[in-house]
Chain A
């Protein structure tokens, strides 16, 4: 099964090479005040969180779309190397979105493939797109000159198993059922996404002739969702040891 998917991906990538035009959608992260309702937080803790907030604000993500697939990933940027707490600030920044390292959506096969890092190990997972039980609203607003429509859904976090409400704004005039990371499934491109700890907003959209959609997949590490859930259950045992 895995071999079939990997072969399919390679064919898709080959197709991507000959696509005449792609669409690049850029997103920025707007962190929420996660200490807002918390009492007795000391200055040092606030300073550390603020460092993570600043890293999150500098993050930019790109969603590359062609006729066959979409690929969501972080834009690599030069970050100051003289920050002795870089790993901690990056970790705090990541927790504002908890996005996967990269997420590929193959339209025709209705499969998503994503790289998820758990405790310094990266797993490549293939599964059907997640069902967010989207409920469309009549609320509309203009985003980047497009008419955007609101939708509300429910997201169950893969790692924690907790469920929380999400809110998305999508553009019907861009009829691509894609969006940031695994968030998709609406009748148009998701351009704004309200998550638990942050809001993700489109910053620009570009048409490009560059055929640079590329994804490295390690066939040996590809697993399905059931396998991932089993790994998570086992790791949760270790987490309980740390948290108690």
Chain B
């Protein structure tokens, strides 16, 4: 269920949506999903990770598959 990451040619996107979403929204949702998948929830100890992953995604630093 947690297919959090899929790396398409246009960059890192959430793949749990059947609709085409803006890149920004996809990045943020995928970043949130990653942290929840790994740590169970988003809290003050990992919220920076959400922001960093979102930023890396938007900048295309997460390699396409």
CA distance A34 to B35 in the complex (A): 12
B1-40: CB near A (< 8 Å → 1, else 0) gives 1111111000000000000000000000000101011110
Given A42-B5, A44-B5, A85-B56: A242 touches B42 (CB 8 Å cut-off): yes
A108 contacts chain B at the CB level, 8 A cutoff? no
Give which listed residue, A45, A85, A157, contacts B61 with CB less than 8 A. Answer: A85
Contacts of A91 in B (CB 8 A): 46, 48-49, 52
Given A38-B37, A44-B5, A243-B32: A84 touches B45 (CB 8 Å cut-off): no
Contacts of A242 in B (CB 8 A): 32, 42, 47, 50
Find out whether the CB atom of B37 lies under 8 angstroms from the CB atom of A243. no
Give which listed residue, A34, A49, A160, contacts B45 with CB less than 8 A. Answer: A160
Find out whether the CB atom of B46 lies under 8 angstroms from the CB atom of A95. yes
Shortest beta-carbon distance from A31 to chain B in Å: 12
CA distance A239 to B32 in the complex (A): 11
Give which listed residue, A45, A98, A118, A232, contacts B5 with CB less than 8 A. Answer: A45
Given A95-B39, A157-B45, A236-B44: A42 touches B52 (CB 8 Å cut-off): no
Give which listed residue, A41, A42, A92, A238, contacts B49 with CB less than 8 A. Answer: A92
CA distance A156 to B17 in the complex (A): 37
Find out whether the CB atom of A35 lies under 8 angstroms from the CB atom of B45. no
A120 contacts chain B at the CB level, 8 A cutoff? yes
Restricting to A111-136, which residues have a CB under 8 Å from any CB of B? 118-120
A235 contacts chain B at the CB level, 8 A cutoff? yes
Given A38-B37, A91-B52, A242-B50: A45 touches B44 (CB 8 Å cut-off): no
Find out whether the CB atom of A239 lies under 8 angstroms from the CB atom of B2. no
Given A45-B2, A119-B47: A243 touches B38 (CB 8 Å cut-off): no
Find out whether the CB atom of B37 lies under 8 angstroms from the CB atom of A41. yes
Contacts of A98 in B (CB 8 A): 45
Q: List 6 A-B contacts (CB under 8 A).
A: A41-B2, A45-B2, A84-B63, A91-B46, A238-B47, A243-B42
* Given A42-B5, A45-B5, 4 other A-B residues pairs in contact with their CB atoms under 8 A: A38-B38, A40-B1, A119-B47, A243-B43
